[in-house]
Chains A and B, each alone.
Chain A
Amino acid sequence: MAGAKRDVLLFRFFHFFVPPGWRLPVAVAAGVFFGIGLAVFHVSGGTSYLSANSEACINCHLMSPQFARWSHASHRDRATCIECHLPQQNAAATWMEKANSGLRHMLVYTLRREPFVIRARQASSDNIQANCVRCHKARIDTTHLVTVDGDAVRHGDGRYCWQCHQAVGHGKLNSLASAPVSLLPADYPRVAPWLTELLVRENQAGKVDR
């Protein structure tokens, strides 16, 4: 059959795997498979992970206490989740770590093996420390705290920044229950629906001397 080079390849691929007479059912089945795959991608908020938005982190409700505390802390308008938690020295480092930790989180979450108190792993702490230094370098340069990294901490040559500055990110309360009614920034109606309706009814009825 005539067609673009790519079309012919796909066609031959299909023919290689699928006997005649089976082609329609297989096409349908493949469609089902890819459909579910796309649904999974959509339901998991797959595209959100490609962005830098902090809201992506609360696709999993486990993170809502951290998100809630961060959004009421000093770095709310200054640093998004990934600006602290992912290495920022170059794009490759960022995306590698994003994929690495993201997939690990997904696995833990799906298997329901999340701990009640989520603590940063060593590599993660090192990344966060590097980011503290990255932004605050000018201010800590004179006290040589710029040289404090994970290795230094482990050799007793310093502490992680947040061991003293505890409330800066999302605070010291790390349990899943720490912010039990934390709001997810949904688009909730600001005015009670019955009030909106009531005002519409009053307007229609013709209010007295407004």
Chain B
Amino acid sequence: MKPVWQIVGERPWLGWLLFLGTVAAVFAVGVLSASLIERKREGRLAFQQSVEIGDLESDSSVWGRNYPREFETWQKTLDGSFESKHMGSRAIDVLALDPRWVVLWAGYAFSRDYNQARGHMHAVEDVRKTLRTGVPQPGTCWSCKSSDVPRVMNEMGVANFYKAKWEELGPKIKNPIGCLDCHDPKTQDLRISRPALVEAFQERGEDIGKARHQEMRSLVCAQCHVEYYFKGEGKYLTFPWKKGFAAEDMEAYYDEVGHTDFVHALSKAPMLKPQHPDWELFQTGIHAQRGLACADCHMPYEVEGGMKFSSHHVVSPLANIGQTCAVCHRESEDTLRQNVYERQDKLREMLSRAQDALVAAHIEAKAAWDAGATEAEMTPALTAIRHAQWRADFVAASGGAAFHAPVESARLVTSSLDKAAEARLLLARILAAHHVTQPVPLPDLSTKEKAQTFIGFDFAAERAKKEEWTKTVLESWGK
């Protein structure tokens, strides 16, 4: 056959056909390529932001202009109307509800004032109001309370932020917890904004950068809903996870580094105070083991018309059983609610026994000191008290413990009872050695007032002092 170009030479129209055909083919391929690139870009820009959100934008209402549904549900955390049998969103004075805690924390700020934590938007307000900030505190106290913290940390440096005085940083901290604490302003990806969690992982030789997205839905909460302490003179916020996440592991770590949160005013025991080990306890429960994250129950999906988004009204899942429990569990709302209350009731019953034992232990220890016991005699008993209260408080401090990890919580309470019994046995012998053979009388702790009077704390006077402070110092911080 003749070569094509010879054929075309004889029949030029063929050549034109070939040329135009090729043009059409290349054009189609090029246009297809352009369309592909355009649609990919569209995927990235599918959401047009109406306002530009700065990298450290702490005012959540600015974010709210781009994400009104998330912002408006977030604002619902101001609402204090939800009540469950034991908790809810309302302001609950825990010391009034159970005055035994006043004695158990005697000598520490928690015996002055302790309210059940409520909605995230109340964070700054509640830190300012509590009598726990009526004693000098470091800047570290602000770490978990405000979306202003990333900016201020960035300006001052992390160590300097912690070292500063709480009152000094006060004027800089205005906004409550908000969008910046968990999200990237440009992409809304979840991201960690607080150093302590990153450093805790590093200390354990783990890289938080490898976390799966589902794990991130718990880890952004774990920036704050974890046990912590202020390490050293610099009051550096540290999570005691080096030896592990179990209560015993943290206790071993604290014992090793020789950390004590406070010396008990009555028993002189070197005490540890756990704070909300929510994430650590949750990990041990069946729901975490089945792959759930905090957000699955506390920020369930909400449907508004045809749109589905994560509700940012972080609240008890009992406020919305249909969207939380019922997504997986096919029982009636009433049944599910009763299931939760049953676990809470039973854990409280166990915990109450531990609390009684601990109150008695502290008071008996005081009696022993009064009877002339020496430090050498008392040390083993005081150590037992330290460990016993650590375990009971570990469970009590995590509001959701009864539901998140009922078995682990029960285990810790029995361990606490065990150690409290050990302490009291030792104290009974010490008392006997010092000729005290009758049971040590326990005070009347039926109200918060009586309990605080017993430990020598004048609540009314302190509240008045705080009112003064509110009118003077807080006013000077401006709006």
Which residues of A pack against B, CB within 8 Å? 15-19, 22, 32-33, 36-37, 39-40, 43-44, 59-61, 64-65, 69, 72, 109-110, 167, 173, 175, 177-181, 183-186, 188-192, 194-196, 198-199, 201-202, 205, 207-210
Nearest 7 interchain pairs by C-beta: A61-B43, A19-B5, A209-B232, A188-B189, A208-B234, A40-B33, A17-B4
Sample 24 A-B pairs with CB under 8 A, ordered by A number: A16-B1, A16-B3, A18-B5, A33-B22, A61-B42, A64-B43, A173-B306, A179-B307, A180-B47, A184-B43, A189-B184, A190-B209, A191-B208, A192-B150, A194-B55, A195-B192, A195-B193, A198-B157, A199-B158, A199-B199, A207-B159, A208-B232, A210-B199, A210-B238
Selected from A19, A40, A177, the residue in CB contact (under 8 A) with B307 is: A177
Structural contact, A181 and B309, CB atoms closer than 8 A = yes
Structural contact, A178 and B158, CB atoms closer than 8 A = no
* Most B Cβ at <10 Å: residue of A65, A167, A195: A195
Selected from A22, A36, A43, the residue in CB contact (under 8 A) with B40 is: A43
Structural contact, B184 and A188, CB atoms closer than 8 A = yes
Q: 4 other contacts beyond A181-B67, A191-B192, with CB at 8 A cut-off?
A: A19-B5, A60-B39, A180-B309, A195-B195
Give the number of residue pairs across the A-B interface with Cβ within 8 Å.
Answer: 148
Known contacts A198-B157, A198-B158; A209/B3 CB under 8 A:
no
Query: In the complex, A18 Cα to B3 Cα: how many Å?
Result: 8
Closest to A74 in B: B328
Structural contact, B158 and A173, CB atoms closer than 8 A = no
Structural contact, A16 and B157, CB atoms closer than 8 A = no
Query: In the complex, A16 Cα to B1 Cα: how many Å?
Result: 9
Known contacts A181-B47, A208-B234; A44/B3 CB under 8 A:
no
Structural contact, A43 and B33, CB atoms closer than 8 A = yes
Which residues of B pack against A, CB within 8 Å? 1, 3-5, 22, 25-26, 29-30, 32-33, 35-37, 39-40, 42-44, 46-47, 55-56, 67, 150, 153-154, 157-159, 163, 184, 187-195, 198-199, 208-211, 213, 216, 219, 231-234, 236, 238, 301, 303, 306-309, 327
Query: In the complex, A209 Cα to B192 Cα: how many Å?
Result: 23
Structural contact, A208 and B29, CB atoms closer than 8 A = no
Query: In the complex, A22 Cα to B5 Cα: how many Å?
Result: 10
Known contacts A19-B5, A61-B39; A192/B32 CB under 8 A:
no
Contacts of B150 in A (CB 8 A): 192, 194-195
Query: In the complex, A132 Cα to B42 Cα: how many Å?
Result: 34
Closest to B327 in A: A167
Query: In the complex, A205 Cα to B35 Cα: how many Å?
Result: 50
Shortest beta-carbon distance from A203 to chain B in Å:
10
Structural contact, B29 and A36, CB atoms closer than 8 A = yes
Closest to B187 in A: A188
Structural contact, A183 and B5, CB atoms closer than 8 A = no
Structural contact, A40 and B29, CB atoms closer than 8 A = yes
Structural contact, A190 and B192, CB atoms closer than 8 A = yes
Structural contact, B195 and A199, CB atoms closer than 8 A = yes
Contacts of B153 in A (CB 8 A): 198
Known contacts A72-B301, A183-B213; A198/B195 CB under 8 A:
yes
Contacts of A180 in B (CB 8 A): 47, 307, 309
Closest to B203 in A: A210
Selected from A33, A196, A201, the residue in CB contact (under 8 A) with B29 is: A33
Structural contact, B32 and A208, CB atoms closer than 8 A = no
Query: In the complex, A16 Cα to B3 Cα: how many Å?
Result: 4
Known contacts A19-B3, A190-B208; A40/B308 CB under 8 A:
no
Contacts of A179 in B (CB 8 A): 307-309
Query: In the complex, A79 Cα to B273 Cα: how many Å?
Result: 46
Contacts of A22 in B (CB 8 A): 5
Contacts of A188 in B (CB 8 A): 184, 187, 189-191
Shortest beta-carbon distance from A124 to chain B in Å:
21
* Most A Cβ at <10 Å: residue of B22, B67, B154, B231: B154
Structural contact, A178 and B43, CB atoms closer than 8 A = no
Query: In the complex, A190 Cα to B193 Cα: how many Å?
Result: 9
Structural contact, B234 and A178, CB atoms closer than 8 A = no
Contacts of A61 in B (CB 8 A): 39-40, 42-44, 46
